[in-house]
Amino acid sequence: MGELFKATLELSADTVRCSGNWTLNGISTLERQLEKFSWPQAIIFDGSAIQAMDSAGAWLLFRTQQALEKAGHSVVLQGFRHTDLLHLVKKYAVQSTTPPSSHNVLEKIGRNTCQAFNNLIDFLAFVGESFVVLLRALLSPSRIRWQALFANLYSAGFTALPIIGLLAFLTGVVLAYQGGSQLSQYGANIFIVDLVGITLLRELAPLLTAIIVAGRSGAAYTAQIGTMRVTDEIDALRTVGIAPMELLVLPKLLALIILMPLLSAFADIVGILGGMLIANFSFGVSVTDFLDRLPEAVSLTNYLVGIGKAPVFAAIIALVGCYQGFQVSGGADSVGKHVTVSVVQAIFLVIVVDALFSILFNWLGIGLINAH
């Protein structure tokens, strides 16, 4: 009895008579049958004998019609009672195969501007919520997840010392060598101390430290939170009454704010050491002369300016990394995309804020000249 209700096709002259149940279970043998037909130029599909049809049968009919018309045949459908279903399948099939319409340049600029503005509003809301949580934790330290805080201090701080030290040392070497090769032409070798000291302590050490931390810790924060989003762990935290901001964002933010001045001070010491070695071995500035000149060349103000930038850079890196993690949706490809965006945005914002600091300090008269 089941065979009586299978979908069938009969090609007679230019008419294809369709009958039976054009459903998922009934059309299993039709595709092989369609491949064996020798189609005339003009074809009429007669569906008056079809007893039942679902989306699978409608899709097969639509796909066959499209293939025949693409091959140059004329296809007409007649006698089908399931017109609504056929129109629905055709509508969504056309939508899925139609390429997105090209927009003009102004429309693209407008869309991207609106999207950037909405992202900015969302990020500012996230920043506001984060600082509310931070203020609440400072007023009530029992809310701080100390174990998570110490874990972040270790992973973002102690494990970053080798790469930060190496980069700072090489930066000091390059500064001393490039600057010294010019200064030595005028017999001003001693001013290598001024060049290395002011440039490193005020600008390069905190900036390079922030860039390394953004690439290491900022990316790790995005990947961790993004993976938790994909696996629904964040929703599970909310279900059991744990605030994700206090567990995931606050320890990272506090850890980086504590660490960045310390890492910058470490980069200062190692960078000065690299510059001092080059000055000694290549340009005749002894270690004693270098250390005697350093307090005169670099004021406490310049040192504090560099250290003072570090907590601001830390907040930017932590907030951008965590925010991008919460924006992840879908699968693993989304995690990778937002990790990349996180690193790029954090480094960009750090450089922009550093430039704003330079303008502000110049406007306030906090210059590079050592004043006693």
Residues 299-305 have a mean pLDDT of: 87
Based on the number of CB atoms within 10 Å of its own CB, is 290 exposed (0-12), middle (13-18) or buried (19 or more)?
Answer: buried
Element (H, E) at 45: strand 42-53
Residues 179-184 have a mean pLDDT of: 85
Instruction: Answer whether residue 85 shows pLDDT above 90.
Output: no
Asked if residue 278 lies in contact with residue 181, where contact means CB atoms within 8 angstroms, the answer is no
Q: Which two tokens stand for residue 208?
A: 């390079």
Residue type, 263: L
Asked if residue 6 lies in contact with residue 36, where contact means CB atoms within 8 angstroms, the answer is no
Q: For 332-361, write each residue's pLDDT tens digit.
A: 788 889 999 999 999 999 999 999 998 888
Q: For 36-75, write each residue's pLDDT tens digit.
A: 777 888 888 888 888 888 888 888 888 888 888 888 888 8
Instruction: Answer whether residue 320 shows pLDDT above 80.
Output: yes
Asked if residue 361 lies in contact with residue 305, where contact means CB atoms within 8 angstroms, the answer is yes
Q: Which residues of 17-34 are buried (b: 16+ CB within 10 A; e: fewer)?
A: bbbbbbbeebbeebeeeb
Grouping H, G, I as helix, E, B as strand and the rest as coil, residue 327 is: coil
pLDDT at 317: 95
Residues 242-269 have a mean pLDDT of: 92
Residues 79-108 have a mean pLDDT of: 72
185-188 long-range contacts, CB within 8 A, separation 24+ = none
pLDDT at 184: 83
| Alpha-carbon distances, residue 337 vs 95, 115, 146 (angstroms) | 27, 17, 31
The region of weakest confidence among 104-108, 154-158, 199-203, 269-273 is 104-108
Element (H, E) at 211: helix 205-213
Element (H, E) at 59: helix 55-70
Percent of the chain with pLDDT over 70: 94
Q: How far apart are CA 164 and CA 207, in angstroms?
A: 11
Cβ neighbours of residue 81 closer than 8 Å, sequence gap 6 or more: 47, 48, 50
pLDDT at 368: 52
Q: For 199-242, write each residue's pLDDT tens digit.
A: 899 889 999 999 999 999 999 999 999 999 888 888 888 888 88
Cβ neighbours of residue 74 closer than 8 Å, sequence gap 6 or more: 41, 42, 43
Q: Which two tokens stand for residue 10?
A: 């009969």
More confidently predicted of 256 and 9: 256
Q: How far apart are CA 180 and CA 245, in angstroms?
A: 49
Q: Name all domains of the chain by residue range, CATH numbers in brackets.
A: 2-97 (3.30.750.24), 121-364 (no CATH)
Residue bearing tokens 């350093």:
294
Computed over every residue of the chain, the mean pLDDT equals: 86
pLDDT at 209: 94
Of these ranges, 24-33, 84-93, 287-296, 347-356, the one predicted with the greatest mean pLDDT is 347-356
Sheet holding 8-12, edge to edge: 8-12, 15-22, 42-53, 74-78
Cβ neighbours of residue 63 closer than 8 Å, sequence gap 6 or more: none
Sign of torsion, CA 338 344 347 350?
A: negative
Percent of the chain with pLDDT over 90: 35
Residues 30-35 have a mean pLDDT of: 74
pLDDT at 1: 43
More confidently predicted of 100 and 136: 136
The region of weakest confidence among 32-36, 264-268, 362-366 is 32-36
Instruction: Answer whether residue 314 shows pLDDT above 90.
Output: yes
Q: How far apart are CA 44 and CA 30, in angstroms?
A: 17
Q: How far apart are CA 194 and CA 298, in angstroms?
A: 7
